[in-house]
Chain A
Amino acid sequence: MRILRNVLSVSVMTFIAVGGAHAASRTGEDYIRAPMPPGVQVVPTELEGPVFADAQGHTLYKWPKRGLRNGDAGDVQGKTLCEDKIQQVNSGLMSPYPGGLELPELETRKSCTAMWPPLYAAADSKPVGEWTIIDRPDGRKQWAYEAWPIYSSILDKKPGDTLGGTTMSSISEVGAVREPIGPDANVPSQFRVSTNMRGRQVELRDGWSVYTYDGDNRNKSNCAGACLDGWQPVLAPDYARPLGEWTTFERSPGVRQWAFRAMPIYRYVNDRKVGGLDGSDIPRWHNVYTQMAPDLPQGFTMKKTLVGLVIGDSQQRTIYKYNCNDDALDQLSCDYPEAPQAYRYAVCGGGDPELCVKVFPYVIAPVGAKTGNTVWGTMYIDPKTGKRATAKTPGALNVWTFRERPVYTFAGNRGYGDTKPTDINGHGWGEFNGSRNGFQAMVYRDIYSNRDGEESNRSAQ
């Protein structure tokens, strides 16, 4: 009973405050202005902070090389491997399956450049700042940022969409995924900003979390004496100058401390790992974000599970997202409704769409439900095909989505599924712990790995 009370407490409080108290800070991240090519602009996004976009406002992406099990995929700096060619077979880069297997739905498959239109440069374009120009195999010019060839995504429809990819950390087995690019956050060189499910989190440059304290005043620290046993003020060097929303103040003669939005910044000495958030369990201490992630849909909850805080639906059932990247050389994603559903059916129903819907049911949304943001939303799905449908499609379901991908619960099969609010038994269900072709719980705070915002390098096994 106490667990339930606590979970309810978490969900209600989280919803109340995450759900609207900081609307002004949702897209408020400051960034460093730097020269850009003609037509390129910076657009605020709800999940990834400021990103570069083309003249139409479409987010720009890079496709950095990743080491897969049997070789590399993705671009190398200064050279594009995204071709105007429709891949017919898989590459065999993902162990244990061999290459040369015909890919699903070839009749509708697009080429890499059709899915990821290159950001072409005019023939007379000149490099500017970090932006350079590379030659494509067809003789055309393409913009590169920090030497990475740059593309847009046909999944993005409007300014602020980041449906083509995310900068949230992932293991290499996910595949060679595309990442949105943006300007550097306007933070002092001691800090960085990374994306996670909670928002755009400010960290020290080496990844340690930073905190603010409710007991402080604006540009004044009240943490002294015993308080300093647990909290290290993040000191500013002599040469530090105010920068955007960052200021310094003298906490004792000759000793200056950083403040963000006027709140003094600290490290927690008992954080045990890079990215750890243990200090936020101490009353009145908080992690620091330049902008919070968008609100959860109304009725969604935050609940305690074996790994930490996980997003749940209105009935406290764990919410799962589906991950999928195919194994062709162009590494196209297959996690959205227009992509081939055969991958998902294999791991959610043994190839049977009907069983799939029973094992990993869609999360049904009320008709007309709105979220007030573009990250969470609804769409109609034809459960027989898994494809996007309309309200008029017979049997269509109106389902909740995250980044325009349906989300799921795990009812399970043969008695194995989620039965309690703490269950996350579908977490890691599918190929490579659910990261390559499968399901993972939507973890809001990972207590044990602290891997949010930390690039994982755990593929050595």
Chain B
Amino acid sequence: MKKAQVMSRRSLTVSHIVKAGVALAMWSGSAAYADDTAPAGRAIGYAFSYIQLSVNESEGAKAECPEGLVELGPREQFKAAFPEGGAKRTVIDTQLRQEADIWFPKTEPDQFPYRFAGGKTSRGLDLDGKVKPTDFTSPEGKPGIDNQLFRVIGCYNGFREAGSVRNFYKLNLIKANINRAMIELTDVDSLVNDDDVTITSYRGREYLVADATGNEFLPGGTQRVDMEWGKQYIHSAKGKIVNGVLMTQPMDFLSPHETAYQTAPYDLMRDARFELKLTPEGAQGLIGGYVDIETLHASRNRTSSTHHLSYGQEAWGSIYRALIKLADGFPDPKTGKNTAISGSYDVKMVQVRVVHPDKEVAEVDAPVAKQFADTSAAK
């Protein structure tokens, strides 16, 4: 690992020297290596206009869920566990017991059968460079795809294209800005081929610019980087662009959500790698990595209530136990148990102009405090 890092640093240094030469050449009027796809300022930003956990859907779900979609959601599990006409039902022994299992899932085997997604095909990335029996093949035929999360969520309506909660996530992209995930690529000399670029994730402060239908988003909007409240979302890695496709080294990626009371939950993907087809107007592709299970559990339940999750039969006590069962990454140093599960996001992005307000923030920091400390008119 250390050797690889040393190598990486060395190649980085060489690359930087080359790029410095390119920049010098550009400055002196020669285009040198930069082509006409080089973004202005050698940087380009993209805001997420779509992000959903990858679920490969066949017609009628026959390939991945031959027994059908999950039917035992929170309502159905409640009815099965606490039937009418039996023993006296109390709030404590029924409703609160079920809520307790949602927020503090028991780890013993589930009392309800679990419907895992199967089949051989899934979107996602090969995270470990191996082809294992549990791996999938991508729709394009690439083997070794790591996406155990698809097995856990693939048969839930709530995670599929027609799912209500999935639709809420889409709507929230339109009506909120607390969930403004975006990336910026820097050191870019070409959007087609560049062996050394930098990707940085941010949260933006602005709304997306929607088209007249409200369903699609337009490129060209401005996004201020949220340096005041959203530094937690900033992560960076190196990458390269090959034939118009960005491929990055692993980095943590936090995906912010909007909720009914904007409680700011987020998902955490460890060792996330971006594989995106780039254009000057947008980007589209996958982010593959290891989804942190505790964060996913908390974010899904903090984003949507049991009521909402019932739309898609998401019973999170059961889902949590399934996640733990198939977890395949980031073992806890103390217990050795895996804390994350391989998965991927399908993403679409629109180009945005990224504004870094660092200087502005530096000036504003203190007055923010002062404002809330003082009210002239109240004197």
Write the residues of chain A forming the contact surface with B, with a CB cutoff of 8 angstroms: 3, 6, 9-10, 13-14, 16-18, 21-22, 25, 28, 69, 90, 94-98, 100-104, 171, 173, 198-199, 202, 212-214, 260-261, 263, 265, 277, 280-292, 302, 304-309, 326-327, 342-343, 345-347, 349-352, 355, 413-416, 420, 422, 424-425, 427-437, 440-441, 444-449, 451, 456, 458-459, 461
B367 located at the interface, meaning its Cβ lies under 8 Å from any Cβ of chain A in the complex? yes
Bound CA–CA A209/B250 (angstroms) = 44
Contact of B377 among A10, A261, A283, A431 (CB under 8 A): A261
Are B367 and A427 in contact, with the CB atoms below 8 A? Answer: no
Q: Which 8 pairs from chain A and chain B are nearest by CB?
A: A350-B104, A428-B263, A17-B373, A416-B294, A448-B178, A346-B96, A280-B371, A428-B302
Across-interface contacts of B261 in A (CB, < 8 A):
171, 428, 433-435, 440, 449, 451, 456, 458
- Give the distance to chain A from B305, nearest Cβ to Cβ, in Å: 4
Are A307 and B378 in contact, with the CB atoms below 8 A? Answer: no
- Give the distance to chain A from B223, nearest Cβ to Cβ, in Å: 14
Given contacts A100-B89, A431-B305, A432-B260, contact A287 B371 (CB under 8 A): yes
Are B378 and A288 in contact, with the CB atoms below 8 A? Answer: yes
Bound CA–CA A69/B168 (angstroms) = 17
Are B263 and A434 in contact, with the CB atoms below 8 A? Answer: yes
Residues 265 to 310 of chain B near chain A (Cβ within 8 Å):
265-266, 294-295, 297-298, 302-303, 305-308, 310
Are A97 and B94 in contact, with the CB atoms below 8 A? Answer: yes
Question: Which of B14-22, B33-41, B229-237 forms part of the interface with chain A?
Answer: B229-237
Are B375 and A288 in contact, with the CB atoms below 8 A? Answer: yes
Are B302 and A287 in contact, with the CB atoms below 8 A? Answer: no
Across-interface contacts of B1 in A (CB, < 8 A):
none
Given contacts A101-B91, A103-B91, A302-B372, contact A413 B378 (CB under 8 A): no
Across-interface contacts of A21 in B (CB, < 8 A):
373-374
Are B91 and A355 in contact, with the CB atoms below 8 A? Answer: no
Bound CA–CA A9/B367 (angstroms) = 10
B212 located at the interface, meaning its Cβ lies under 8 Å from any Cβ of chain A in the complex? no
Residues 82 to 98 of chain B near chain A (Cβ within 8 Å):
88-92, 94-98
Given contacts A104-B91, A304-B228, contact A281 B264 (CB under 8 A): no
Across-interface contacts of A422 in B (CB, < 8 A):
231-232
Given contacts A346-B100, A448-B178, contact A428 B231 (CB under 8 A): no
Most A C-beta atoms less than 10 A away, residue of B75, B89, B264: B264
Number of interface residues of B (CB under 8 A): 68
A sample of 28 inter-chain contacts (CB < 8 A) reads: A13-B366, A22-B375, A90-B95, A94-B307, A100-B89, A103-B91, A173-B260, A198-B372, A265-B377, A281-B368, A282-B364, A283-B363, A286-B371, A305-B229, A306-B178, A307-B263, A342-B96, A350-B106, A351-B100, A424-B264, A427-B263, A428-B259, A428-B302, A433-B263, A433-B302, A435-B261, A444-B372, A449-B261
Are B373 and A437 in contact, with the CB atoms below 8 A? Answer: no
Most A C-beta atoms less than 10 A away, residue of B90, B230, B305, B367: B305
B177 located at the interface, meaning its Cβ lies under 8 Å from any Cβ of chain A in the complex? yes
- Give the distance to chain A from B168, nearest Cβ to Cβ, in Å: 6
Bound CA–CA A230/B377 (angstroms) = 20
Are B378 and A261 in contact, with the CB atoms below 8 A? Answer: yes
Q: Given A96-B78, A346-B100, 11 more contacts at CB 8 Å?
A: A101-B89, A102-B89, A286-B375, A307-B229, A307-B262, A308-B229, A342-B96, A343-B96, A346-B103, A416-B295, A416-B297
Across-interface contacts of A22 in B (CB, < 8 A):
375, 378-379
With both beta carbons as reference points, the residue of chain A lying nearest to B97 in the complex is identified as A351
Across-interface contacts of A445 in B (CB, < 8 A):
372
Are B94 and A101 in contact, with the CB atoms below 8 A? Answer: yes
Residues 30 to 84 of chain B near chain A (Cβ within 8 Å):
74-75, 78
Are B260 and A433 in contact, with the CB atoms below 8 A? Answer: yes
Residues 285 to 338 of chain B near chain A (Cβ within 8 Å):
294-295, 297-298, 302-303, 305-308, 310, 332
Bound CA–CA A305/B231 (angstroms) = 9
Across-interface contacts of B231 in A (CB, < 8 A):
3, 422
- Give the distance to chain B from A399, nearest Cβ to Cβ, in Å: 22
B23 located at the interface, meaning its Cβ lies under 8 Å from any Cβ of chain A in the complex? no
Across-interface contacts of A96 in B (CB, < 8 A):
74-75, 78, 306-307, 310
Bound CA–CA A458/B92 (angstroms) = 29
B176 located at the interface, meaning its Cβ lies under 8 Å from any Cβ of chain A in the complex? yes
Across-interface contacts of B196 in A (CB, < 8 A):
none
Are A283 and B367 in contact, with the CB atoms below 8 A? Answer: yes
Are A425 and B377 in contact, with the CB atoms below 8 A? Answer: no
- Give the distance to chain A from B151, nearest Cβ to Cβ, in Å: 22
With both beta carbons as reference points, the residue of chain A lying nearest to B363 in the complex is identified as A283
- Give the distance to chain B from A193, nearest Cβ to Cβ, in Å: 12
Bound CA–CA A354/B68 (angstroms) = 41
Across-interface contacts of B4 in A (CB, < 8 A):
none
With both beta carbons as reference points, the residue of chain A lying nearest to B167 in the complex is identified as A461
With both beta carbons as reference points, the residue of chain B lying nearest to A450 in the complex is identified as B262
